[in-house]
Amino acid sequence: MTASPLPPRRIAVAAHPDMPEAIALAAEVVARLEAEGISPVQGVLKDRAVREAVAARGLDLLVALGGDGTMLRAGHLCAPHEVPILGINLGKLGFLTEVSRDEWHEAMDRVLSGDYWLEERMMLRAVQRREGEILGSWDVLNECLVGRGEVVRPVRLITEIDGRYLTTYVADGLIAATATGSTAYALAAGGPILPPELRNILIVPVAPHLSVDRAIVLHEGSWVRITVRTDHKAIISVDGHEALPLQDRDQVDVRAGEHTAVFVRLQDPGYFYRNLTSHMNQNPFSGADK
């Protein structure tokens, strides 16, 4: 937690590109900022102008309009350049967003006056290797999944912690998650919920068969190596992005990343548990009207 931030003046407003309501609300936010004498950069997250403004480290704030997926994309964009993110929720859950669509006026007044705090979230770095050659690397805000492909057969995942053999999972997959990701796929797979400020790595197997079936929480300084053993398709997927293929004996290393995602918070620091209870009692994906 970073206290007493300065009132932001250099601001970008970015909406989810496929949400017309987000784009419309973004225009309202821009008009509000312009009334305060601020000329924000505006567009959708993939726009060149938005990305260049973030990369130039010339921003005090990015306002992201959408759901948790939008916040993940904003985190990937902003974390390397230390730009804080304020999320306005137009999605379903809103674990990462801070403001509802009906409260953004009051929220913007508080932010522009400097009445907010900054929450830092650890990120991971995942690296794919084949015969020692690096084939890909990714920043991870939620989780990295190594698992089976479309064929409904488990894969063997030889898992090492800090270079020491842990176990071989026979499972649909293995999740390496941050505390942020502990409320996402890792939670659905039976993992524990970690407070967002913790800098730990969470390991959770997905549908393990005659294998260790408990989640493991690792220290920030630890690292994980997952070696794939399979005679059919395997994949890696980071933060829900499109899955990429893995071959037999490919290795995926996961460790604490060099970047930290920063989110603007207006609620008191105990907000996480209140929101968690609300989300779990009223799951918008369940179809229940409660």
Say yes or no: 201 and 100 in one domain: no
Say yes or no: 105 and 30 in one domain: yes
H or E segment and range at residue 124: strand 117-130
Q: How far is it, in rounded angstroms, from Cα 230 to Cα 156?
A: 6
35 falls within a domain:
yes
> Is 250 one of the catalytic residues?
no
Tell me the DSSP string of 195-233. -TT---EEEEEES-SSS--S-EEE-TT-EEEEEEE-SS-
pLDDT in tens, 48-106: 999 999 999 889 999 999 999 999 999 999 999 999 999 999 987 778 999 999 999 99
Which candidate in 47, 68, 162, 253 is catalytic?
68
Say yes or no: 44 and 112 in one domain: yes
What is the CATH number for 170? 2.60.200.30
Say yes or no: 67 and 88 in one domain: yes
Predicted TM-score (pTM) of this structure: 0.91
What is the CATH number for 101? 3.40.50.10330
Say yes or no: 24 and 90 in one domain: yes
Q: How far is it, in rounded angstroms, from Cα 94 to Cα 186?
A: 17
- Beta partners for residue 13, in sequence order: 42, 63
pLDDT in tens, 182-191: 999 999 999 9
Whether the per-residue pLDDT at 20 is higher than 60: the answer is yes
* Residue whose structure tokens are 């959708």: 44
Q: Give residue 41's domain range.
A: 11-116+266-281
65 falls within a domain:
yes
